[in-house]
Amino acid sequence: MTKNIEHPTFHRAAKGDRFQFHDHYLVDDLLDDDHRMARQAVRDWVKAEVSPIIEDSYERGVCATHLFKGLAEIGAFGPSLPVEYGGGGMDEIAYGIIMQELERGDSGLRSMASVQGSLVMYPIYKYANEETRKKYLPKLGSGDFIGCFGLTEPDHGSDPGSMVTNIKDAGDHYVLNGAKMWITNSPIADLAVVWAKDEEGKVRGMVVESGWEGFSAPEIHGKLSLRASITGELVFEDVKVPKENVFPDIKGLRGPLSCLSKARYGIAWGAVGAALDCYDSALRYTLEREQFGRPLAGFQLTQKKLAEMLTEITKGQLLAWRLGTLANKGEATPAQISMAKRNNVNMALEVAREARQMHGGMGITNEYPIMRHMANLESVITYEGTHDIHLLITGMEVTGLNAFK
């Protein structure tokens, strides 16, 4: 149980709010009222709907699909997409802060929202024809439809340009064949945004409904990370895709990469949320837990850990915020997004590892969120471009030399 601690960092925040007591650099001042309102709404929802069930969902490896409707109601799907296309009509910082609060709850929860908004709604909004937009976006925005995004294949992960999934022109439709791997939400999805090569070898995007003949999405079992999020394959055996469902004008990897930029941006914010939850827990725990006759927080080694965690989180917050201001002007580059995703996820993982140790034996139990965040972040550091791939992107940006091959 938490004592009522008179501590400056605790004091500044809303009293008794375990989700907010550490805005050391007053980053809050950089937000406007709309951002703060969005953050509060999501925070309240996570506390009411997610916190009570998340440890159980995680332990049982069950995705709480009923949360999709709630995510839609709080505006977590496509917060920065236009309202008339199912989005929230907010700016990029609001989108980021919503992802932060979701991931403070659980990275799997944020993944559900990221995929739906940034990897499914965004490409349909950006690249589909008007009829397809009208057909799918309102239902995705309201959570009536669940979407997934199929880029990664069993043999092609970091190198999606080598994908073998393909479409062939069959007159009034295309025929889709191939398989995708590691697809968030696929076993429960109503539709998938799929990337496949056409007969010229160009990567094309399309909306494929899960009820169509030849479509299957077996679940991937045995995950020890993101256990509250469902992941599966996508298998296409001669699936007939109507021509109007294929994005008309976008060809090549630019299409999927633009979606990934949007989602990676959200992850840069989201990871801060996971780090905040770990830090908050470590601070509380070490202030309360006594060894050698005094609180753990009174020892220099603990203070070094807390001070460094807070410093790194603050740097991550500022990186995300600056990226958000650039994104609002349409100026955030893929390389800048890579840097922020890479830094912030790694930072969150380091914070989680330190926090785990600071909780001693209790740190390995589900009494605290630490192990769950730590295990989740092992996926987050791999998906949407691995830690190493983002480093290579930054390296290419600064040297002009491609070290991928």
List residues near ligand FAD by CB under 6 A: 115, 148-152, 157-158, 182-184, 226, 231, 379, 382-384, 386, 388-389, 404
Could you list the beta-strand ranges (E) of 42-190. Answer: 147-150, 166-169, 173-184
Instruction: Identify which of residues 286 and 379 has a Cβ nearer to ligand FAD in the complex.
Output: 379
Q: Tell the smallest beta-carbon distance from residue 297 to ligand FAD (Å).
A: 35
Q: How many C-beta neighbours within 10 Å does residue 213 have?
A: 8
Query: Which residue's Cβ lies closest to ligand FAD?
Result: 157
Instruction: Identify which of residues 87 and 150 has a Cβ nearer to ligand FAD in the complex.
Output: 150
What is each CA distance from 2 to 10, 280, 398, in whole angstroms?
A: 12, 12, 48
String of DSSP letters for 347-389: HHHHHHHHHHHHTGGGGGSTTSSHHHHHHHHHHHTTSSS-HHH
Q: Which residues pair with 175 in a beta bridge?
A: 168, 240
Instruction: Identify which of residues 80 and 152 has a Cβ nearer to ligand FAD in the complex.
Output: 152
In the chain, the amino acid numbered 82 is P
**Tokens at 192, concatenated:** 């998938």
Could you list the beta-strand ranges (E) of 156-302. Answer: 166-169, 173-184, 191-197, 203-209, 215-216, 231-242, 290-291, 294-295
Instruction: Identify which of residues 326 and 375 has a Cβ nearer to ligand FAD in the complex.
Output: 375
Q: Tell the smallest beta-carbon distance from residue 275 to ligand FAD (Å).
A: 19
Q: How many C-beta neighbours within 10 Å does residue 404 have?
A: 11
The answer to whether 209 and 189 are in contact (CB under 8 A) is no
CA–CA dist 204, 185 (Å, integer): 21
Q: Tell the smallest beta-carbon distance from residue 350 to ligand FAD (Å).
A: 17
Instruction: Identify which of residues 195 and 368 has a Cβ nearer to ligand FAD in the complex.
Output: 195
Catalytically annotated residues: 384
Q: Tell the smallest beta-carbon distance from residue 370 to ligand FAD (Å).
A: 19
CA–CA dist 155, 195 (Å, integer): 15
Q: Which one, of 264, 78, 256, lies nearest residue 180 by Cα?
A: 256
Q: Tell the smallest beta-carbon distance from residue 7 to ligand FAD (Å).
A: 37
Instruction: Identify which of residues 326 and 391 has a Cβ nearer to ligand FAD in the complex.
Output: 391
Instruction: Identify which of residues 38 and 194 has a Cβ nearer to ligand FAD in the complex.
Output: 194
Tell me the backbone φ, ψ of residue 150, rounded to 5 degrees: -110, 100
- Strand 147-150 to strand 191-197: parallel, antiparallel, or no bridges (unpaired)? parallel
Q: Tell the smallest beta-carbon distance from residue 61 to ligand FAD (Å).
A: 12
- Say if residue 357 is exposed, middle or buried (CB neighbours under 10 Å; 0-12, 13-18, 19+): exposed
What is each CA distance from 180 to 111, 158, 233, 247, 401, in whole angstroms?
A: 18, 13, 5, 19, 30
